[in-house]
A = this chain, B = another copy of it.
Amino acid sequence: MNKGKLFVISGPSGAGKSTVITRLLKQLNNVYFSISATTREPRRGERDGVDYHFMKKEEFEKLIDEGQLLEYAEFVGNYYGTPAKPVDQKLEAGYDVILDIETKGAEQIMAKRPDAISIFLFPGSFAILEERLRLRGTDSEEKILKRLAQAKIECKKAEMYDYIIINDRVETACDEVIAIITAEKCKTAGRLHYLKEEN
C-alpha cells in the first residue's frame, strides 16, 4: 500500500480556507484533517480533540524541545501548533492528511517536509478579500485594514507554493483541490511499482 500524502492549505485570512476544507471533507474518503494543538483555555462549546487538542503549557514546550511539531507559533501568551505524530501515523496508514495552516506555519512545514504539497488559497482579488473581511462584520475598520495589508505581504510569498486556487466560487475551488489530490496520487514516483515485470 502507498503512504498517504500531506497537503497544506494556506492563504490570507478571508481566503475561505475553512469553508473550502469543510466542503472538501464531506466529499473525500481516506482523508484525515489534522487538528491543531493549543495551550489556550477551551472556549465555551469547544471540545478537546474536535476543535483543538488542548494541552498544558509544559506538554507543548516538551513537544517543541523534542522537535515533535510540524509548525508552531505563539499568540498573546498561548501556543498553537501541529504535532507531527498523529499526522505521520495517518500518512503511514495510507491516509492523505490535510492541514489548514496560516502562512507562517505553512512555510515552516514546507521547509521541514519537502514532500508536502502546498496549496495557496486566494479570493481572486484584493477587492473581493476586502469585501469578505467587511461582510464578516466581526472586525474593526483598523483590523480590516491590518488584515488587508497582511494579505498583501502573504501573497508575495505565494510563489513558494505548488498550487494556487482562486476561491471565487467555493464549489470550483473545492473541485480543484480534489483534482490536485487525485493528480498528486498519479505522480510517477508513487506508481512505478505497478509496472514491475512480476505483475
Contact = CB atoms under 8 A, between A and B. Distances in A.
* Stoichiometry (number of copies): 2
Given A182-B179, A183-B179, A158 B126 contact: no
Interface size class of A (residues with CB under 8 A): 20 to 34
Interface stretch (A19-27, A80-88, A189-197): A189-197
Interface in A164-199: 164-166, 175-176, 178-180, 182-184, 186-188, 191-192, 194-195, 197, 199
Nearest to A194: B166
Interface centre among A126, A164, A187 (most CB of B within 10 A): A164
A192 B164 contact: yes
Given A163-B187, A186-B176, A186-B179, A158 B192 contact: yes
A103 to B, nearest CB: 12
A32 interface: no
Interface stretch (A43-51, A67-75, A117-125): A117-125
Nearest to A173: B186
A104 interface: no
Interface of A: 119-120, 122, 124-127, 152, 155, 158-159, 161-166, 175-176, 178-180, 182-184, 186-188, 191-192, 194-195, 197, 199
